[in-house]
């Protein structure tokens, strides 16, 4: 792919084991899907990460806060987990940390992309950072909403009202991006709930 010119945005879907790389022509413009990468390995089960050692890949809304070109997993992009929501809803003493998108094919709470794929993802994100993008956003979903994969999760966890309610908080961000190809504003409420779009303003 030719060198990018705008912002970068990442979306990952745990059930489908896929990570999408999006880019726009310039800040504020709609995003275009550049590539969908298979996730080589992710650990845990559907649902958010709430404590150290649970092996969970998080679900929610994050930004990349670290670039490590010398990772023991080839290259790695660190997420700002725990975010404001996680700090309210997760274990107050040990919510966990060090969640990465990285190379290799092993995972304990991270997205392992293999070395060749992380090279492309890392290069795109680093280039966007160098162009001045201050917050490279990463949305982590249980599955694509409205698909059979998501419906299967909802049937499987039909008795887990709290988990279904959490997923309902995530869905508006997915729907809004699908409609506009722009990342909606997202804030965290007093109880740790995600507020998306007009609710975040």
**Residue 47: CATH number of its domain:** 2.40.440.10
Domain for residue 187, yes or no? Answer: no
Domain for residue 68, yes or no? Answer: yes
Q: Which domain holds residue 135?
A: 8-143
Domain for residue 168, yes or no? Answer: no
110 catalytic residue (yes or no): yes
Domain for residue 65, yes or no? Answer: yes
102 catalytic residue (yes or no): yes
Domain for residue 135, yes or no? Answer: yes
End-to-end CA distance of the chain: 36
Domain for residue 158, yes or no? Answer: no
Q: How far is it, in rounded angstroms, from Cα 184 to Cα 181? A: 9
Domain for residue 130, yes or no? Answer: yes
The reported pLDDT for the residue numbered 201 is 78
| Number of domain units in the chain | 1
Q: How far is it, in rounded angstroms, from Cα 51 to Cα 91? A: 5
What is the model's pTM?
0.96
Q: pLDDT of the chain along its 201 residues, tens only?
A: 556 789 999 999 999 999 999 999 999 899 999 999 999 999 999 999 999 999 999 999 999 999 999 999 999 999 999 999 999 999 999 999 999 999 999 999 999 999 999 999 999 999 999 999 999 999 999 999 999 999 999 999 999 999 999 999 999 999 999 999 999 999 999 999 999 987 877
Cis-peptide, bond into residue 138, ω within 30° of zero: no
Domain for residue 112, yes or no? Answer: yes
Given 74, 110, 125, 139, the catalytic residue: 110
The reported pLDDT for the residue numbered 41 is 97
């Amino acid at each position: 792919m030719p060198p990018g010119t705008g912002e970068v945005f990442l979306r990952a879907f745990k059930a489908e084991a896929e990570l999408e790389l999006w880019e726009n022509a310039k800040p504020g413009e709609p995003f275009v899907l550049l590539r969908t990468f298979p996730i080589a390995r992710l650990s845990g089960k559907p649902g958010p990460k709430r404590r150290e050692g649970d092996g969970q890949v998080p679900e929610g809304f994050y930004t990349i806060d670290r670039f490590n070109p010398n990772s023991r997993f080839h290259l790695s992009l660190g997420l700002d987990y725990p975010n404001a929501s996680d700090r309210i809803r997760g274990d107050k003493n040990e919510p966990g940390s060090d969640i990465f998108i990285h190379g290799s094919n092993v995972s304990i709470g991270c997205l392992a992309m293999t070395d060749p794929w992380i090279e492309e993802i890392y290069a795109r994100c680093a280039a966007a950072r160098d162009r001045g993008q201050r917050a490279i956003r990463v949305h982590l979903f249980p599955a694509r909403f409205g698909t059979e994969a998501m419906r299967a999760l909802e049937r499987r966890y039909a008795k887990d009202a709290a988990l279904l309610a959490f997923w309902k908080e995530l869905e508006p961000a997915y729907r809004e991006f699908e409609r506009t190809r722009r990342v909606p504003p997202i804030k965290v409420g007093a109880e740790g709930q995600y507020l998306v779009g007009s609710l975040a303003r």
